[in-house]
A and B are shown apart, each in its own frame.
Chain A
Amino acid sequence: MSSVPLTAYLMLALILFCIGLFGALTKRNAVIVLISIELMLNAVNINLVAFAKYSINPGLTGQIFSLFTITVAAAEAAVGLAILIALYRNRQTVNVDEMDTMKR
């Protein structure tokens, strides 16, 4: 049975990862940056699940791992947003390039 090769999944994941990375590094809105990071995590999840099926030792491990990842990602999104809101309250902005207190 000819099925979709592993490479195809990996390619998809790679493309999504790159898009997420690009978004995270170039977008100015902090919310979009957060969501781009979610996209990157998703791309990784695809890899995990793909390797769960196609690999030397196939099994459930990859899927379970991706479940944990999703959990952590959800927590991260929540905390990230909370920080964003606190920040917005103090600085009245969510623009990433105005958040340069490290420099000052």
Chain B
Amino acid sequence: MLQMSWLIPLFPLLSFILLLLFRKSKSESTAWIGVLLTGISLVMSVGVFLAVWQGEGIKTEGTWFQIGERAITMGFEVNPLNALMLVIVSLVSFLVHLYSKGYMHGDERFPVFFAYLGLFSFAMLGLVVSPNLLQLYMFWELVGLGSFLLIGFYYFKPEAKAAAKKAFVMTRIGDVGLFIGMVLLFWQVGSFEYDEIFASVKNGDISSGMLTLTALCIFVGAVGKSGQLPLHTWLPDAMEGPTPVSALIHAATMVAAGVYLVAAMYPLFQASEAALTVVAVVGGLTAIFAASIGLMQKDIKRVLAYSTVSQLGYMMLALGASGYVAGIFHLTTHAFFKALLFLAAGSVIHAVHTQNIEEMGGLWKKLRITGPLFLIGALAISGVPLLSGFFSKDEILASTYADGKYGLFWLAVIAAFMTAFYMFRLFFLVFTGEARGNEKGVHESPSVMTFPMIVLGVLAVVAGYLNTTWFGTFLSDYLAQGPVELPHGDHHGPAWIPLVATLAAALGIGLAYLIYQKGTLSRDWITRSFPSLAEVIYNKWYIDEGYDQTVVKGTRGLSKLGVLFDRYVVDGLVTAVTNGVQGLSKIGSRLQNGQVQSYGTAAIFGIVILLLIVALTGGYFS
């Protein structure tokens, strides 16, 4: 089974190629090509996962090309971490394929959409099985391409165009960081292989300054991909893509690639205390910052997008606080419940054809399947006990606390409170109360869409039991087989931490209930009390505007300056030279007065000069 694991990414690639060939087909049964091929990938991934669970692993590499003495290799590797990722990615991808069959019904570029999904799945799975940094980087970029294509799927919408461009460019900024880190590491280690990098980290071949530098550069890549502060702005905009795409890429898989990257390179980070601290601080700040923006958004998908950013911040915080298992654990559970939430949101949008939550309401009765599933997702993400989010979030808090980062700990708790609040604000506004918009003809989505949601709903409930203090820490035992040495084993801090987390969640839910369901508290209570703060938060802390004013304007200004420089200085120089030549030739042409005697005089001057040279130098050839 393991020997065949390199085939896993290739099935979606096949799907991509086949569907591009069928792109003109009007039949929507083409979707089954994609579904079937990703299904095969899923089955194989599960097989591989089970094999790895038994303690197996594999790594195969071959020379890709050779430069001088050095060979650049390509291959695949299966270890506990990426086997888990394989399952997550192929599962979500499979479910999203299935869901899209219903969601994209009637779109005229139906096969193209599935082709792009296939391309993305190929890239993401390829990223996961990469055995070295270079290969990872290549798939990393391809993943970005898939994301770009899918965000820009509605190419005729200007917003989609802008969002696709922004996503590509912002993540590219991060990618360049990763690129620099990778190249610097190469010259330190002489290889892109994870194993060799870790070996030289362990042997102390790399100076500590260089370690920190490379780790931070690589982290910049993760920041870009995972939408961490300050490169997060593309992720909410990416919601211009079709909703299944948001579920697949911008909730469960691609954005988690940043977290995966940090996890995969964990020994490097472990070697540098400074780098870990930076990771934790960026993660913690992102968590609370994004959560605060999520409080006031009106677009259902944007709320979820900020929630994603915030949860990714949690994962980074966990990794930065030496909570390796906690980070991966949260990545897993988050993949399920966030995908569920997005798919449910998609189902809602599919039903009411708007994304503005102000125009929804009272959908609980009409969407009998979507509603409860959304509720499960909301409960899970809020960290309500016994659902998956509770366990993973608890572990993150515990490891942060155990790592002695108390400030970040309390930040995370507040973020948890906010998460609970905005998720239930969303829930109450969408599903309860009166219908505020035109909700005639609203009906439940077809079963091809509800089935994936149900599967994810089940997983959102049970995934938490992968790693609990009550039943056993399966996940950490499993991950301990991997190449990463797990940091200080037991992370289970004081028993009051789960209580605090639960309390925060309960407070958030309760507050949302009071404001949006009961109406006990006025809705604009906060807005009125702190108008300027609310303004700032509503405008997403003016980050976009800030970038617009500084980076974008600056770049454009530089470019304009360059154009002027090109026109006036470079071309000006040329013009000056040509004018000079022209002036000289004007003088010269005055000499050409048509009188033979003047020419004769000039010729004599020439002869005199030549004779002078000969007389002074004694002749060149003598």
A–B touch (CB < 8 A): the answer is yes
Complex Cα–Cα for A99 and B600 (A)? 14
Complex Cα–Cα for A26 and B604 (A)? 13
Judge whether A100 and B597 touch: CB under 8 Å: no
B68 on the A face (CB < 8 A)? no
Q: B592 contacts which chain A residues (CB < 8 A)?
A: 103
Judge whether B595 and A21 touch: CB under 8 Å: no
Complex Cα–Cα for A35 and B593 (A)? 24
Judge whether B594 and A96 touch: CB under 8 Å: no
A1 on the B face (CB < 8 A)? no
Q: Which of B593, B596, B604 has the most chain A CB atoms closer than 10 A to its own CB?
A: B596
Q: B595 contacts which chain A residues (CB < 8 A)?
A: 96-97, 99-100, 103
Min C-beta distance of A8 to chain B, whole Å: 21
Complex Cα–Cα for A21 and B605 (A)? 13
Q: A89 contacts which chain B residues (CB < 8 A)?
A: none
Nearest opposing residue in chain A for B603, CB measure: A25
Judge whether A25 and B593 touch: CB under 8 Å: no
B601 on the A face (CB < 8 A)? yes
Judge whether A104 and B604 touch: CB under 8 Å: no
Q: A25 contacts which chain B residues (CB < 8 A)?
A: 597, 600-601, 604
Nearest opposing residue in chain B for A101, CB measure: B594
Q: How many chain A residues touch B (Cβ–Cβ < 8 Å)?
A: 13
- Chain B 585-616 near chain A by CB (<8 Å), digits 1 or 0: 00000001111110011001000000000000
Q: A26 contacts which chain B residues (CB < 8 A)?
A: 597
Min C-beta distance of A104 to chain B, whole Å: 7
- Chain B 239-263 near chain A by CB (<8 Å), digits 1 or 0: 0000000000000000000000000
A102 on the B face (CB < 8 A)? yes
Q: Which of A15-60 contact B (CB under 8 A)?
A: 21, 24-26, 33
From A21, A33, A100, A102, B604 is in contact (CB under 8 Å) with A21
Interface of B is mostly: helix
Min C-beta distance of A93 to chain B, whole Å: 13
Min C-beta distance of B184 to chain A, whole Å: 70
Nearest opposing residue in chain B for A96, CB measure: B597
From B593, B600, B601, A100 is in contact (CB under 8 Å) with B593
Q: A100 contacts which chain B residues (CB < 8 A)?
A: 593-595
Min C-beta distance of A7 to chain B, whole Å: 17
- Total A-B pairs, Cβ < 8 A: 27
Judge whether A97 and B597 touch: CB under 8 Å: yes
Judge whether A104 and B597 touch: CB under 8 Å: no
Complex Cα–Cα for A26 and B595 (A)? 11
Complex Cα–Cα for A21 and B600 (A)? 9
Min C-beta distance of A25 to chain B, whole Å: 5
Nearest opposing residue in chain A for B592, CB measure: A103
Judge whether A99 and B593 touch: CB under 8 Å: no
Q: Which of B335-362 contact A (CB under 8 A)?
A: none
Nearest opposing residue in chain A for B600, CB measure: A25
- Chain A 71-104 near chain B by CB (<8 Å), digits 1 or 0: 0000000000000000000000000110111111
Q: B604 contacts which chain A residues (CB < 8 A)?
A: 21, 25
Q: A101 contacts which chain B residues (CB < 8 A)?
A: 594
Judge whether B593 and A103 touch: CB under 8 Å: yes
Judge whether A96 and B593 touch: CB under 8 Å: no
Q: A99 contacts which chain B residues (CB < 8 A)?
A: 595-596
Complex Cα–Cα for A104 and B601 (A)? 20
Complex Cα–Cα for A95 and B340 (A)? 106
Nearest opposing residue in chain B for A27, CB measure: B597
Min C-beta distance of A19 to chain B, whole Å: 14
Complex Cα–Cα for A33 and B597 (A)? 10
Q: A103 contacts which chain B residues (CB < 8 A)?
A: 592-595
Complex Cα–Cα for A100 and B590 (A)? 13
Min C-beta distance of A78 to chain B, whole Å: 20
Min C-beta distance of A16 to chain B, whole Å: 16
Judge whether A104 and B596 touch: CB under 8 Å: no
Nearest opposing residue in chain A for B594, CB measure: A103
Q: A33 contacts which chain B residues (CB < 8 A)?
A: 597
Complex Cα–Cα for A2 and B321 (A)? 115
Q: B601 contacts which chain A residues (CB < 8 A)?
A: 25
Complex Cα–Cα for A6 and B600 (A)? 30
Complex Cα–Cα for A24 and B593 (A)? 17
Complex Cα–Cα for A24 and B597 (A)? 8
Q: B594 contacts which chain A residues (CB < 8 A)?
A: 100-104
Q: Which of B531-561 contact A (CB under 8 A)?
A: none
Complex Cα–Cα for A96 and B593 (A)? 12
Q: A102 contacts which chain B residues (CB < 8 A)?
A: 594, 596
Complex Cα–Cα for A96 and B598 (A)? 11
Min C-beta distance of A30 to chain B, whole Å: 10
Q: A104 contacts which chain B residues (CB < 8 A)?
A: 594
Nearest opposing residue in chain B for A21, CB measure: B604
Q: Which of B314-372 contact A (CB under 8 A)?
A: none
Complex Cα–Cα for A101 and B593 (A)? 9
- Chain B 195-213 near chain A by CB (<8 Å), digits 1 or 0: 0000000000000000000
Complex Cα–Cα for A96 and B600 (A)? 12
Min C-beta distance of A27 to chain B, whole Å: 8
Min C-beta distance of A38 to chain B, whole Å: 16
Min C-beta distance of A21 to chain B, whole Å: 7
Q: B597 contacts which chain A residues (CB < 8 A)?
A: 24-26, 33, 96-97
Q: B593 contacts which chain A residues (CB < 8 A)?
A: 100, 103
Q: Which of B476-512 contact A (CB under 8 A)?
A: none
Q: Which of A21, A25, A99, A103 has the most chain B CB atoms closer than 10 A to its own CB?
A: A25
Complex Cα–Cα for A96 and B595 (A)? 7
Complex Cα–Cα for A29 and B593 (A)? 18
- Chain B 438-465 near chain A by CB (<8 Å), digits 1 or 0: 0000000000000000000000000000
- Chain B 209-241 near chain A by CB (<8 Å), digits 1 or 0: 000000000000000000000000000000000
Which 8 pairs across A and B sit closest by C-beta, in order of nearness? A103-B594, A100-B594, A102-B594, A25-B597, A25-B600, A100-B595, A25-B601, A97-B595
Query: What would 18 more interface pairs be, CB under 8 Å, given A24-B597, A33-B597, A103-B594?
Result: A21-B604, A24-B600, A25-B597, A25-B600, A25-B601, A26-B597, A96-B595, A96-B597, A97-B597, A99-B595, A100-B593, A100-B594, A100-B595, A101-B594, A102-B596, A103-B592, A103-B593, A103-B595
Residues on A close to B: CB < 8 A?
Answer: 21, 24-26, 33, 96-97, 99-104
14 contacts between A and B (CB under 8 A): A25-B597, A25-B600, A26-B597, A33-B597, A96-B597, A97-B595, A99-B595, A100-B595, A101-B594, A102-B594, A103-B592, A103-B593, A103-B594, A104-B594
